[in-house]
Amino acid sequence: MSGEKATQRIDVWLWHARFYKTRSLATKMVRGGKVRLNGNVTKKSSAVVTIGDVLTFTRADQILIAKVLGIGTRRGPAPEAQLLYEDLTPAREEKKAEVKDVLHIREKGLGRPTKADRRAIDRLMNRD
Protein backbone atom coordinates (compact mmCIF):
# COMPACT_ATOMS: atom_id res chain seq x y z
CA MET A 1 0.00 0.00 0.00
CA SER A 2 2.50 2.63 1.11
CA GLY A 3 5.74 2.71 -0.80
CA GLU A 4 9.14 4.00 0.29
CA LYS A 5 8.43 7.38 -1.26
CA ALA A 6 5.96 9.73 0.40
CA THR A 7 4.95 11.49 -2.83
CA GLN A 8 3.32 10.54 -6.11
CA ARG A 9 2.22 12.21 -9.33
CA ILE A 10 -1.34 13.48 -9.07
CA ASP A 11 -2.59 11.66 -12.18
CA VAL A 12 -1.11 8.36 -11.01
CA TRP A 13 -2.63 8.78 -7.54
CA LEU A 14 -6.10 9.51 -8.97
CA TRP A 15 -5.80 6.41 -11.13
CA HIS A 16 -4.51 4.20 -8.26
CA ALA A 17 -7.36 5.43 -6.03
CA ARG A 18 -9.79 4.39 -8.82
CA PHE A 19 -11.36 7.80 -9.30
CA TYR A 20 -10.72 7.56 -13.05
CA LYS A 21 -10.81 4.44 -15.20
CA THR A 22 -7.57 5.17 -17.08
CA ARG A 23 -4.44 7.11 -16.28
CA SER A 24 -4.80 9.07 -19.52
CA LEU A 25 -8.29 10.19 -18.43
CA ALA A 26 -6.87 11.29 -15.06
CA THR A 27 -4.12 13.20 -16.91
CA LYS A 28 -6.70 14.83 -19.17
CA MET A 29 -8.75 16.00 -16.19
CA VAL A 30 -5.69 17.45 -14.45
CA ARG A 31 -4.43 19.22 -17.58
CA GLY A 32 -7.94 20.56 -18.19
CA GLY A 33 -7.84 22.35 -14.83
CA LYS A 34 -10.57 20.14 -13.34
CA VAL A 35 -8.51 19.14 -10.29
CA ARG A 36 -7.61 21.28 -7.28
CA LEU A 37 -4.73 20.39 -4.99
CA ASN A 38 -5.15 21.96 -1.54
CA GLY A 39 -7.55 24.52 -3.00
CA ASN A 40 -5.31 25.57 -5.91
CA VAL A 41 -6.07 24.61 -9.50
CA THR A 42 -3.27 22.49 -10.91
CA LYS A 43 -2.83 21.97 -14.64
CA LYS A 44 0.32 19.87 -14.45
CA SER A 45 -0.15 16.12 -14.29
CA SER A 46 3.34 15.91 -12.81
CA ALA A 47 2.20 17.82 -9.70
CA VAL A 48 3.05 15.86 -6.57
CA VAL A 49 0.61 14.73 -3.88
CA THR A 50 1.68 13.84 -0.36
CA ILE A 51 -0.15 12.33 2.58
CA GLY A 52 -2.50 14.91 4.05
CA ASP A 53 -3.21 16.78 0.80
CA VAL A 54 -6.82 17.51 -0.11
CA LEU A 55 -7.97 17.03 -3.71
CA THR A 56 -11.15 18.50 -5.17
CA PHE A 57 -12.23 17.28 -8.59
CA THR A 58 -15.18 16.33 -10.74
CA ARG A 59 -16.33 12.94 -11.88
CA ALA A 60 -19.46 12.72 -14.02
CA ASP A 61 -21.86 15.27 -12.48
CA GLN A 62 -20.36 15.11 -8.97
CA ILE A 63 -17.81 17.25 -7.19
CA LEU A 64 -15.64 15.01 -5.03
CA ILE A 65 -13.34 15.95 -2.16
CA ALA A 66 -10.72 13.43 -1.01
CA LYS A 67 -7.98 13.63 1.59
CA VAL A 68 -4.86 11.61 0.73
CA LEU A 69 -4.19 8.99 3.42
CA GLY A 70 -1.69 6.87 1.53
CA ILE A 71 0.41 6.52 -1.58
CA GLY A 72 -0.40 3.50 -3.74
CA THR A 73 2.13 1.23 -5.37
CA ARG A 74 -0.35 -0.31 -7.81
CA ARG A 75 -3.90 -0.01 -9.06
CA GLY A 76 -5.34 -2.75 -6.94
CA PRO A 77 -8.90 -3.79 -6.15
CA ALA A 78 -11.46 -1.27 -4.90
CA PRO A 79 -11.14 -2.12 -1.18
CA GLU A 80 -7.40 -1.53 -1.42
CA ALA A 81 -7.91 1.73 -3.30
CA GLN A 82 -10.37 3.02 -0.67
CA LEU A 83 -7.61 2.85 1.94
CA LEU A 84 -5.69 5.54 0.02
CA TYR A 85 -8.15 8.35 0.79
CA GLU A 86 -10.80 9.72 3.11
CA ASP A 87 -13.96 10.89 1.39
CA LEU A 88 -14.77 14.45 2.53
CA THR A 89 -17.55 14.99 0.00
CA PRO A 90 -20.68 16.37 1.66
CA ALA A 91 -23.79 14.22 1.33
CA ARG A 92 -25.84 15.03 -1.75
CA GLU A 93 -29.38 16.17 -1.21
CA GLU A 94 -31.94 14.56 -3.45
CA LYS A 95 -33.51 17.17 -5.65
CA LYS A 96 -37.06 15.93 -5.38
CA ALA A 97 -38.50 19.31 -6.34
CA GLU A 98 -36.74 19.20 -9.72
CA VAL A 99 -37.83 15.63 -10.32
CA LYS A 100 -41.38 16.60 -9.44
CA ASP A 101 -41.27 19.43 -12.01
CA VAL A 102 -40.05 17.05 -14.70
CA LEU A 103 -42.81 14.57 -13.89
CA HIS A 104 -45.42 17.30 -13.59
CA ILE A 105 -48.81 16.07 -14.73
CA ARG A 106 -50.93 18.69 -16.40
CA GLU A 107 -54.22 19.53 -14.73
CA LYS A 108 -57.33 18.77 -16.77
CA GLY A 109 -58.21 21.73 -18.97
CA LEU A 110 -54.84 23.50 -18.76
CA GLY A 111 -52.46 23.93 -21.68
CA ARG A 112 -52.86 22.68 -25.23
CA PRO A 113 -55.60 20.18 -25.91
CA THR A 114 -54.52 16.59 -26.44
CA LYS A 115 -55.41 14.66 -29.56
CA ALA A 116 -58.34 13.09 -27.72
CA ASP A 117 -59.50 16.58 -26.64
CA ARG A 118 -59.29 17.85 -30.24
CA ARG A 119 -61.36 14.92 -31.48
CA ALA A 120 -63.97 15.62 -28.80
CA ILE A 121 -64.08 19.29 -29.86
CA ASP A 122 -64.46 18.27 -33.50
CA ARG A 123 -67.37 15.96 -32.59
CA LEU A 124 -68.99 18.76 -30.57
CA MET A 125 -68.63 21.24 -33.43
CA ASN A 126 -69.88 18.66 -35.98
CA ARG A 127 -66.64 18.83 -37.98
CA ASP A 128 -65.85 15.73 -39.95
User: Judging by beta carbons within 10 Å of its beta carbon (0-12, 13-18, 19+), is residue 34 exposed, middle or buried?
Assistant: middle
Please report, rounded to a whole number, the percentage of residues in the chain having pLDDT higher than 90: 62
Residue 5 pLDDT > 60, yes or no? Answer: no
37 within a domain of the structure (yes/no): yes
pTM as predicted? 0.69
Range 8-28 burial, b when 16+ CB lie within 10 A, else e: bbbbbbbbbbbbbeebeebbe
Query: pLDDT tens for residues 46-73?
Result: 999 999 999 999 988 889 999 999 999 9
| Calpha distance 66→76 (Å, rounded) | 18
pLDDT of residue 78: 94
99 within a domain of the structure (yes/no): no
80 within a domain of the structure (yes/no): yes
For residue 19, the domain's CATH number is 3.10.290.10
C-alpha 33: how far from chain center: 15
Residue 101 pLDDT > 90, yes or no? Answer: no
25 within a domain of the structure (yes/no): yes
Domain with 63 in it: 7-93
118 within a domain of the structure (yes/no): no
Top-confidence residue, 94 or 91: 91
Number of domains present in the structure of the chain: 1
